[in-house]
Structure 1
Amino acid sequence: MVESKVKDKSLAAKGKLQIEWAESHMPVLMAIRERFIREKPLKGIRIAASLHVTKETAVLVKTLAAGGAEVYLAPSNPLSTQDDVAAALVEEGIHVYAWKGMNNREYYNAIGFAISSEPDITLDDGGDVAGTLHKLALGITDESVKYALEVAGNRDYVGLTRKILGGTEETTTGVIRFRAMEKDGKLMYPIIAVNDSYTKYLFDNRYGTGQSTWDGIIRATNLLIAGKVIVVAGYGWVGRGVAMRAKGLGARRVIVTEVNPIRALEAVFEGFEVMPMSEAAEVGDIFITATGDIRVITLNHMLKMKDGAVLANTGHFNVEIDVEALEKNAKSKREIRPYVVEYLLPNGRKIYLIAEGRLVNLSAAEGHPSEVMDMSFSNQALAAEYILRNKGKLTPRVYRLPQEIDEEIARLKLTAMGVRFDSLTEEQAKYISSWETGT
């Protein structure tokens, strides 16, 4: 029997059409699915996943199931689930516990649901399944653990965590968390940092987030970007994509705020203004955080902002904008449009927060286009297979997928796009692998 808790199972027919649309734009993952159907590399394996429940994720979990896995799917953000897709996946035999608009308790109940499957492999986007499992095994109790236990129940979590073959992590924020756990000696099973694959972060983070962030902002506000002053906090690959698309949409000025001097210098050389947030706060029209860190925009910054400034976050967790301080200090608030809340500040100015400061591209829009998730989720599928192929060989560390897997995904993508490219001649290959030849 398929265990599930979704908003409305009658939405399944609509969800299947959305999944079909995504499948038609994800040729690499579909090629992997064809092989998985033949070879069944995941036969008998139970996978617990915490991912954004979108049509693209559906293509991934259907591929894992085609490879023989039993998949338990929870969301990785309370606002990112596409309810029609969740319903369709239940009909496909996937165990799903997710709906759009979960509160904190419901969200961690869903994480507990995934954990209750006693998985062999975990798949994460933000680290909540593997992170909560580690907290349970290490005896760390907080509100999230308490809520997870309401569904997962009491178990031997030390034994459960130690028997897990490995996990994967999709996003920068999650990889940072697992590297910190490794450094502290707390990581109990190997994690594949999918985010570190070139075919993930160079494309998903830059082009996927760059486009989908603006899709979310424009859907929520219907504002014209041309002529506006845009402030992008953080110039990692996500920030680069957001800044690049802002320029392409006709922004009058694109300002970058950074704490890393090398990234700040890159932003300057790429034609963007760089200044501290304390200065940018006074001139920006739209602010977008993309740092992965906490309180990048504080109440003090908000009090400096223009009347009518718009705030959005495209980092994984809703900690980059100090929403708690805003809630405590605002004189009033009201939802003026779906996903847009107007706050009246003590100084009489109004600012507008999109999607509660959560991931704007998945909360107010549909997330990344299928074409870019094709590569990201191909990495996830092949990472799960890699963990099984290397059973017993991987120690509790954070690993990167081998370069040959990365390059194979790129080759498959180019072939699907009809793009031909060169290969080394025998002479060229010999030349670049030798040291004898000089000038």
Structure 2
Amino acid sequence: MYQDFESELNWAIRHMPRTRAAVDALPGLQGVRLACNMHLDLKMAPLVAGLLDKGAEIFLTTCNPTTVQDDVVAWLERRGAVAYAWRDMSDNDWSESFDRALAWGPTHLCEMGADLTSRLHQSINGPHIKAGLEATGSGISCLEGITPRYPIFNWDDLPVKEGLHNRHMVGLTAWHTFFQTTHLTLHEKCVLVIGYGLVGQGVASAAKAYGGQVIVAETDPARVLQARYDGWEAVDLATAVSRADVIATATGARNVLSSAHLERVKDGVFILNVGHVAEEIDVGFLRGLSHSEPMPFVNAYQLADKTLYLLANGSMFNLTAGYGDSLNAFDVTLAVMAAGIGHITGVGEQQPAGLYLLPSSVWLPAL
């Protein structure tokens, strides 16, 4: 098992040259105590290992327990990282991981979802953080309701993050994972995409490319108009759920697909989520029903005389049941992240407290 992981890691390193170069360009990080709350899959290992080699001390937590690869965490611990994360850890353990990360005394934060920052700002006490980095739209939304005590740099809204990962990779890898998991294609299937932000746009276009008949549900009037101009039928969610053979949530908001919606779906519908928030679907309602797992990551729920299939139990589907972004695409994302870490541990920490967009002078050289 260990040898297999080493082989995979070497393969990842070989195909992520931008990340290698961005880490090599970092100065020594001695004295930096970096708490990272992020997906802990194979693609993260080259970055974390490189930061350790630069002298940083690192505490690892996860932004999503369903995406943790335990062999990655174990390997990084052997390299010197401190970690409190494992696959499918309980909600209580997950919550405790945030407290442990802050009690560890970090000087800097690198996050996907702002969980550590949110927990820190719930108390008047806590470690002195010099600067932070945030990678997700849901995290930025959370930070907009907080008065930061230190500078935090948003890199979710960078064109390379929005235009590459959000717009293209999530949808592409979600449907690849659908094919692998269900052994089905999208041909002759009506695909309902809920949410028409950049992720939803990519999910819709990839679904069409793979033979799906796509309809879009969106509450923002401007995005509704955009969906129509892109050629999609914009529909009312309450009525559209009964038409769909496949439903994909891509909003980052909670309870978008409610129990009332679920009661209206057709027999045999597939439901998946690619948003950061696992509770986009009312999974609590479904768990009260009789259910089984006919295929790995395919959860069959009996609702009256219907069967509906919830993929990966509503967690981020492309990373929970699949591999997420390709190595070469995520190489761009991770190189920007490495450059951002260099910024928050350097001149960025001298900024006044507040939320900032990561400057182009920081991330452009990483490309």
Q: Displacement, 1:405?
A: 2.8
* RMSD (CA atoms): 1.6
Secondary structure in structure 1 of the residue aligned to 2:247? strand
Match of 2:309 in 1: 352
* 2:9 alignment partner in structure 1: 19
Closer/same/farther in 2, CA of residues 110 and 14 from structure 1, 3 Å limit: farther
The CA distance in 1 between the partners of 2:104 and 2:337, in whole Å, is 19
Residue in 1 that maps onto 2:73: 86
Change (3 A) 1:361 1:30: same
The Cα shift of 1:178 comes to: 0.7
Q: For residue 319 of structure 1, report the CA deviation from its aligned partner.
A: 1.5
CA contact (8 A) 1:16 1:85 kept: no
Residue number in structure 1 paired with 2:197: 236
Match of 1:334 in 2: 292
C-alpha contact 2:37 2:62 (8 A) present in aligned 1: yes
Match of 2:47 among 60, 64, 70: 60
Task: Sort the Cα spacing of 1:406 and 1:32 in 2 relative to 1 into closer, same or farther, 3 A.
Answer: closer
Over 3 Å counting, the alpha-carbon distance change for 1:79 and 1:281 in structure 2 is same
Q: Which residue of 2 aligns with 1:434?
A: none
Partner of 2:129: 164
Preserved CA contact (<8 Å) 1:74 1:113: no
1:343 to 301, 304, 319: 301
Distance, in Å, in 1 between the alignment partners of 2:134 and 2:349 is 19
**Counterparts of 1:293-372 in structure 2 under 5 Å?**
293-328=253-288, 330=289, 332-346=290-304, 348-372=305-329
C-alpha contact (below 8 Å) 1:231/1:288 kept by paired residues: yes
* Cα distance per residue 1:310-340 (max 9 Å; x no partner): 1111111112111122334x3x111222111
Which runs of structure 2 are paired with 1:177-188 in the superposition (5 Å)? 177-181=142-146, 185=147, 187-188=148-149
Quote the sequence identity (%): 32
Q: Which residue of 2 aligns with 1:111?
A: 98
Residues 218-270 of structure 1: CA deviation (Å, up to 9, x unaligned): 2322222122111111111111111111011111x101111111111111111
Moved more, 92-101 or 44-53: 92-101
Shift of 1:391: 5.5
Instruction: Give the greater-gyration-radius structure (CA).
Output: 1
Q: Which runs of 5+ in 2 are unaligned?
A: none
TM-score (normalizing by structure 1): 0.80
Partner residue in 2 for 1:373: 330
* Structure 1 residues 12 and 397: CA distance shift in structure 2, 3 A: farther
Structure 2 counterpart of 1:197, from 138, 158, 162: 158
Contact 1:19–1:85 (CA<8 Å) still a contact in 2? Answer: no
- Between the aligned partners of 2:220 and 2:88, the Cα distance in structure 1 is 35
Task: Name the SS for the 1:306 alignment partner.
Answer: coil
**What is the letter of the counterpart of residue 47 of structure 2?**
L
CA distance in 1, matches of 2:343, 2:166: 23
Contact 1:32 1:63 in 2 (8 A): no
| SS of residue matched to 1:304 | coil
TM-score calculated relative to the size of structure 2 = 0.95
Per mean C-alpha deviation after superposition, the further-off stretch among 398-407 and 268-277 is 398-407
Deviates more, 1:211-220 or 1:284-293: 211-220
Give the structure 1 partner of residue 22 of structure 2. 32
Matched, 1:216 2:216: no
Deviations 1:155-180 (A, max 9, x none): x42xx1xx211111111111110112
Which sections of structure 1, spanning at least 5 residues, go unmatched? 1-10, 139-155, 413-439
Is 1:233–1:257's contact at 8 Å kept on the other side of the alignment? yes
Instruction: Look up the equivalent residue of 2:203 and give its one-letter code.
Output: V
Moved over 3 A (4+): none
Q: Distance in 1 between matches of 2:327 and 2:221?
A: 34
Deviations 1:255-310 (A, max 9, x none): 11111111111111112111011121011011010001122111221122110001
